[in-house]
Amino acid sequence: MKVSLLFPPSWHPSQPYLSLPCLTAFLDHAGICDKSQRDLNIEILDTILTKTYGLEVYQKLIDLGKQLEHSMSGDEGPGSKEHYARVLEALDRFPYLIDQIEPAKDSLRGEEFFDVDRYRECLFLIDRWLEVVSSLYFPTRITVVDNQLSYSIYSSRDIMKAIRDETQNPYIDLYRNYFLSSIIEGNPGLIGVSITATSQIIPGLTLCRLIKEANPDIHVTVGGSIFTRLVDNLRRCERLFEVTDDFIVFEGETAFLELINQLEGKKDFRKVPNLIYRQDGKITVNQPFYSENLAQHSAPNYDGFPLDKYLAPHTVLPVQFSRGCYYKDCAFCALTLDHQNFRQKDPIKVVDELESLAKNYQTPYFFFTDECLALSPTRRLCKEMINRGLDLQWTAELRFEKNLSRELLSLMKDAGCQKIVFGLETYNARMMDFMVKGITQASVDRICSDCVDLGIAVHCYVIVGFPTETEEEALETMNFVVNNHSLNSSYGFSCQPCLFDLEKEAPIMNDPGGYGIQRIMRPAAEDLSLGFFYEVKEGMTPEQCEKVYQHVYEKISEVVCELPFNYSMGDGLLYIARRNKQKVLEHTGVS
């Protein structure tokens, strides 16, 4: 049986995503040979950013403009005066942009990527170009990393409308005209679609619908972290099973392999772990959920991915040392649900994988996707990389642990670590304790200072508006970043403030009253909601949080280099590695 794995839009265009390469490597090891994997996200973006596609858009804009000129109705929405104005604006911009869009794409794939002014200009041009394309599907707005339709992605009813809306959903035309025939050619028996971000929900399920309509005999399954967080919702959401046969939740390697075996055999879906399926009008969730043994997993396989099409001059490959979080006590964090428990590979095996990947794909650049690296295994990892003389450059996420010593940071630097991502969340001591962060101001201060001194770039995630937080406490966190000149002026520093969201499965939901939440609400229509509205007994209200968040975001933006460091970790890694290499050459007197 032929198997096909697909990663739909929208995702960041700088580098591939890890899910399908991990699954492909697992299937390799199991002897599944007739398979393929495709990153439709970058393939579709690459198609949109061409003159050929642009000329098709231009003719459609002309036709739409003529139609709207004689049939406008209302001031807003599709077919309105505003829609007509957007079309005219797009037609006005088109002659300039059509000649710029392919050179912009080429610049990001070449040496001009490292000219930050040209880098910024190219991203701006692409954004304007996508605005032109979006005007065909008004009020839809597509960007490089996202898409906004007038439908709620948290409502299955809305989603089912969106995936059939020919006027507002740009992915229907794109799939039909450019990709569908190649996806279903050869009559694959099983197609897996990975939906790992909310930005992929409508594009991904649109793809599923079109595949099932083109060939109902193809078995379509959906995997990824989004629906892992919606297990209970899927039990009551029959309409989604109109476009996919089933869902694989949590980790998917063993489950997908067993699904292949059952489709080739007795089709006893009860034996497929982590599967949610509908049979005889009943939705079944196969439990207990299965966790993978990482020790048996091979290095990810990126064969078939168009590595030359990503919008970066060098390939940055995601890799994984561990799954889950060894700490997993942070009150706000629902990420631990994705992998249930913490497991990690042997450090020597990971270095073997890095060495193999670097050789196979001709790149020294790697991005550890782990929620946070554990310290002792990281020490072994770095020593082995140094012992082998591997000239790799990489970034990873760690915690502000008191045991994260300067000696270990120095070892990481010597092993090629260019940047560390930290979940700071708050600098206020009370909030650190209340969030159960397990860190202290003293550790944050020391580790940031050591990183700056050693030349390791730092990224900090910040949360504004955790329940009971006051404006003064939020501003203390802001001031830590804004007033820490040695940190915020260090090359490669980035900081991403975000507004607190009360998420399903986060530890705080086990005792909302204990965290000052007195009422939790969810709109009845949003049967796929990943979060909740809430009211608090003390601290800032959600409305006050929004206002303070905007202030914090603006102030931090004044001291952070948004492009490339706050825009893309992968792009930032390439910039930092380039600069550090130049500093070494200057120090050694090599020009």
Could you read off the pLDDT of 130-141 as tens digits, one per residue?
999 999 999 999
133 contacts 101 by C-beta, under 8 angstroms: no
**pLDDT of amino acid 53:** 98
Residues 26, 99: one domain? no
Q: Are 269 and 323 found together in one domain?
A: no
In terms of domains, do 459 and 582 share one?
A: yes
Quick check: is 291 in a domain? no
pLDDT at residue 125 in the model: 98
430: domain CATH number? 3.80.30.20
Tens digit of pLDDT per residue, the chain (591 long)?
A: 999 999 999 999 999 999 999 999 999 999 999 999 999 999 999 999 999 999 999 999 999 999 999 988 888 889 999 999 999 999 999 999 999 999 999 999 999 999 999 999 999 999 999 999 999 999 999 999 999 999 999 999 999 999 999 999 999 999 999 999 999 998 999 999 999 999 999 999 999 999 999 999 999 999 999 999 999 999 999 999 999 999 999 999 999 999 999 999 999 999 999 999 999 889 999 999 999 999 999 999 999 999 999 999 999 999 999 999 999 899 999 876 777 899 999 999 999 999 999 999 999 999 999 999 999 999 999 999 999 999 999 999 999 999 999 999 999 999 999 999 999 999 999 999 999 999 999 999 999 999 999 999 999 999 999 999 999 999 999 999 999 999 999 999 999 999 999 998 899 999 999 999 999 998 788 999 988 899 999 999 989 999 999 999 999 999 998 999 999 999 999 999 999 999 988 877 765
At 275 the pLDDT is 98
Domain end, chosen from 285, 300, 326, is at 285
Kindly state whether residues 435 and 541 are assigned to the same domain: yes
Query: What's the confidence (pLDDT) of residue 523?
Result: 78
Same-domain status, 209 and 326: no
DSSP 111-144: GGGGSHHHHHHHHHHHHHHHHHHHGGGTT-EE-S
- Encoding tokens for residue 74? 């209302």
pLDDT tens by residue, 285-296: 999 999 999 999
Instruction: Give residue 41's region: left, alpha or beta (phi > 0; psi -120 to 50).
Output: alpha
State which of 102, 127, 156 marks the end of a domain: 156
Last residue of a domain, one of 122, 156, 190: 156
pLDDT score at 591: 54
Q: Which two tokens stand for residue 441?
A: 């101001």
- Whether 430 is in a domain gets the answer yes
Nearest Cα neighbor of 394 from 351, 342, 448, 453 is: 351
Same-domain pairing of 127 and 232:
no
The total of structural domains in the chain comes to 3
Radius of gyration, CA atoms only, the chain: 24
> Is the domain of 550 the same as that of 580?
yes
Long-range Cβ contact pairs of 270-277 (< 8 A, separation 24 or more):
272/248, 274/248, 274/249, 274/250, 275/246, 275/247, 275/248, 276/227, 276/231, 276/234, 276/235, 276/246, 276/247, 276/248, 276/249, 277/241, 277/245, 277/246, 277/247
Inside any domain, residue 294: no
68, 84 contact by CB (below 8 A): yes
pLDDT number for residue 339: 76
Q: In terms of domains, do 37 and 111 share one?
A: no
Query: Do both 278 and 329 map to the same domain?
Result: no
Does 297 reside within a domain? no
Q: State residue 72's pLDDT score.
A: 84
| C-alpha–C-alpha distance, residues 70 and 298, integer Å | 61
For residue 116, what are the domain limits?
46-156
